[in-house]
Amino acid sequence: MPGKLVVGNWKMNGDLRHNDALLAGLRAGWPVRATREISVCVPFPYLWQAQAALSGSAISWGAQNVSEHAHGAYTGEVAASMIAEFGCRYVIVGHSERRTLYGETDAMVAAKAGATLQAGMTPIVCVGESWAERESGAGESVVVRQLDAVVSRIGGRIAETVVAYEPVWAIGTGRSATPELAQAVHEVLRKRLREHGEAAGNVSLLYGGSVKAGNAKALFACADIDGGLIGGASLNVDEFLAIAGA
Ligand code: 13P
C-alpha cells in the first residue's frame, strides 16, 4: 500500500519571522499519531529553521532542488550531502518551474533524483504536461517520458521515490485538474511503475496543482492519488492542515 503523504512546496516564499509562525502552527496542529505524513519543502536558507522547529515532531522537511553533482566547482549550487546534513527527508526534483524557467532537462532531473538517493533522502520526482501538450493529445506520453528518464538512470531504486503529477496548466492558476483527469493520469503512471516491480508500483503518487481545502478531499479519494504536493495553500497553517486532513 502506498503511503499517504501531503507535502508543502513553499517555493521562493518566506522569511524568518513568518516561517517561525508557520512551522510552530503546523507542529501544534498536526497530531503525532496521524495516519498520513506531512512534510514541508523550504528554500535552502531555511533548512536549519525547519530542522530546529520540527525535530521530534511527526512532520518532516525537505528541499526544493539539488545539484546533480556531488561537490566541486559549481558556484551557487547545493549538494545533496549538504541538504542531508539538515535532517531532510525529501528533495523535490524536476518541478515544472525548474524545467521551464531554468532549463532542466529530463536527464538533469534524473541525475538529481540519483544524487538525492545517494545521499539517503527521497526524491519527489515531478512530472507534468503543458496545456499545449495536453491539447495535442500528448499529455500522457509526456509524463511517461519524464518518468522513464528517471527510471533509466536509477533503475529499481524508483521504488524508493515519490512521484508527483503536476499538470503545468494547473499550477498556481486556481484551475486544478478534475479528480477524473488526475486519476486517469495517475493510473497511467501507476501502470508504468508496476512494470518495474511490485515495490515500484507502490510508490506514493501525489497530485499537485491548485489543491485547496475545498478540492482536496475529492482528489485524495481517487484510487491512485496518495496525497498532494501543495504550493500556495501550504503557506497558510489552517489551509494546509485542512488539506492534510482531507
Ligand atoms: P499551487 O498549489 O500553488 O498551484 O502549486 C502547485 C505546485 O507547484 C506544488 O509544487
DSSP one-letter string for 171-184:
TTSS-PPPHHHHHH
230 within ligand 1 shell (Cβ under 6 A): yes
Active-site residue, 95 included? yes
Q: Are residues 168 and 128 in contact, defined by beta-carbon separation less than 8 angstroms?
A: yes
Instruction: Write the pLDDT tens digit of every residue in 76-124.
Output: 999 999 999 999 999 999 999 999 999 999 999 999 999 999 999 999 9
* Å from CA of 73 to ligand 1 middle: 32
pLDDT in tens, 164-196: 999 999 999 999 999 999 999 999 999 999 999
Give the span between the Cα atoms of 53 and 59, in whole angstroms: 10
| Res 33: pLDDT | 80
Which residue type occupies 182? A
Tens digits of per-residue pLDDT, 61-80? 999 999 999 999 999 999 99
**Model confidence at 20: pLDDT above 90:** yes
Residue nearest to ligand 1 atom 1, measured at CA: 231
128 Cβ below 6 A of ligand 1: no
Q: Is the CB of 110 under 6 A from ligand 1?
A: no
Task: Give me ligand 1 centre to Cα 125, in Å.
Answer: 14
The mean predicted confidence, pLDDT, of the chain is 97
- CA 121 vs. chain centroid, Å, equals 13
pLDDT of residue 34: 81
pTM, full prediction = 0.98
Q: Is the CB of 167 under 6 A from ligand 1?
A: no
